[in-house]
Amino acid sequence: MKVRDVKVLRGPNYWSIKRHKLIQATLDLEDLEYKPTDEIPGFLERLQQLLPSLYEHRCSVGNPGGFFERVKEGTWMGHVIEHIAIALQNLAGIELGFGQTRGTGEEGVYHVVFEYGEEEEGRYTLSAAIKVAEALINDEAYDVQKDIAEIKRLWFKYKLGPSTGSIADEAKKRGIPVMRLDDGSLVQLGYGAKLTRYEATITSHTSSLAVEIAGDKEQTKKLLQAANLAVPFGDVVGREENLKDAIDAIGYPIVIKPLDGNHGKGATINIIDWEHAVCAFHRAKKWSEDVIVEKFIEGCDYRVLVINNKFVAAALRTPASVTGDGKHTVQQLIDIENQDPRRGAGHDNALTEIKVDEVTMELLRKKHFTVNSILPQGEVLHLKPTANLSTGGTATDVTDQVHPENISCFERIARNIGLDICGIDVMATTLSTPLKENGGAVLEVNAAPGFRMHLEPTSGTPRNVAAPVIDMLFPKDKGRIPIIAITGTNGKTTTTRLMAHIVKQAGYVTGFTTTDGVYINDELVLKGDCSGPHSAQLVLKDSSVEFAVLETARGGILRSGLAFDGCDCAIVTNVAADHLGLGGIDTIEKLARVKSVVPETVNENGYAILNADDDLVYAMRENVKGKIALFSMHADNARIEEHCAAGGLAAIYENGYLLLRIGNHFIPIEEAVNIPITFGGKADFNIANSLAASLAAYTSKIKLGTIRKALRSFVPSAESIPGRMNIYEFNDFTVVLDYAHNPHGVKALGQFIKTFEGRKVGIITGVGDRRDEDISSLGEEAAKVFDEIIIRHDDDMRGRSYEDIDRLLRIGIHKIDEDKPIAYYGTECEAVEQVLNEGRPGSVIVLLIDNVTAVTECIAKYRNREKERMMTLQKAG
Q: Is the pLDDT of residue 175 over 80?
A: yes
Q: Which residues pair with 654 in a beta bridge?
A: 657
pLDDT confidence of residue 347: 64
Rounded to whole angstroms, the Cα distance separating 14 from 583 reads: 11
Per-residue pLDDT of 429-466, as tens digits, reads 999 999 999 989 999 999 999 999 999 999 999 999 99
Q: Is the pLDDT of residue 105 over 90?
A: no
pLDDT confidence of residue 346: 67
- The band of 230, judged by pLDDT with boundaries at 50, 70 and 90, is confident
Per-residue pLDDT of 119-172, as tens digits, reads 999 999 999 999 999 999 999 999 999 999 999 999 999 999 999 999 999 999
Mean per-residue pLDDT, 200-215: 95
Query: In whole numbers, what is the pLDDT of the chain averaged over residues?
Result: 93
Q: pTM for this structure?
A: 0.88
pLDDT confidence of residue 262: 67
DSSP letters, 570-631, are EEE----S-STTBTTB-SHHHHHHHHHHHHHTEEEEEEEEEETT-HHHHGGGGG-SSEEEEE
Percent above pLDDT 70 for the chain? 99
Rounded to whole angstroms, the Cα distance separating 392 from 183 reads: 25
Q: How wide is the angle at C-alpha 451 spanned by C-alphas 450 and 457, nearest 5°?
A: 120
pLDDT confidence of residue 509: 97
- The set of residues, in sequence order, having a beta carbon less than 8 Å from that of 462 and lying 6+ positions away, is 397, 454, 455, 456
For residue 718, how far is the Cα from the chain centroid? Answer: 33
Mean per-residue pLDDT, 250-276: 85
Per-residue pLDDT of 28-55, as tens digits, reads 999 999 999 999 999 999 999 999 999 9
- The band of 263, judged by pLDDT with boundaries at 50, 70 and 90, is low
Of 352-356, 472-476, 679-683, 870-874, minimum mean pLDDT range? 870-874
Q: Which residue, 671, 609, 612, is CA-closest to 636? A: 612
3-class DSSP assignment, residue 382: strand
DSSP state of 374: B
- The band of 796, judged by pLDDT with boundaries at 50, 70 and 90, is confident
pLDDT confidence of residue 592: 94
pLDDT confidence of residue 348: 65
Rounded to whole angstroms, the Cα distance separating 825 from 71 reads: 59
pLDDT confidence of residue 384: 87
Query: 679: buried, middle or exposed (CB in 10 Å: 19+, 13-18, 0-12)?
Result: middle
Mean per-residue pLDDT, 263-270: 80
Per-residue pLDDT of 375-398, as tens digits, reads 999 999 989 877 777 788 899 999
Per-residue pLDDT of 738-792, as tens digits, reads 988 889 999 999 999 999 999 999 999 988 888 899 999 999 999 999 999 999 9
- The band of 629, judged by pLDDT with boundaries at 50, 70 and 90, is very high
Sheet holding 441-446, edge to edge: 394-397, 310-318, 300-307, 421-428, 441-446
- The band of 257, judged by pLDDT with boundaries at 50, 70 and 90, is confident
Percent above pLDDT 90 for the chain? 74
pLDDT confidence of residue 835: 87
Q: Is the pLDDT of residue 732 over 90?
A: no
Of 131-145, 274-288, 616-630, minimum mean pLDDT range? 274-288
The helix (run of H) or strand (run of E) holding residue 729 is strand 726-729
Q: Which residue, 396, 397, 407, 399, is CA-closest to 435? A: 407
Q: Is the pLDDT of residue 232 over 70?
A: yes
Q: Is the pLDDT of residue 869 over 90?
A: no
* 495 in Cβ contact with 702 (< 8 Å): no
Q: Is the pLDDT of residue 794 over 90?
A: no
Write down the H helix ranges in 54-161: 66-73, 77-91, 119-137, 144-158
Mean per-residue pLDDT, 281-290: 90
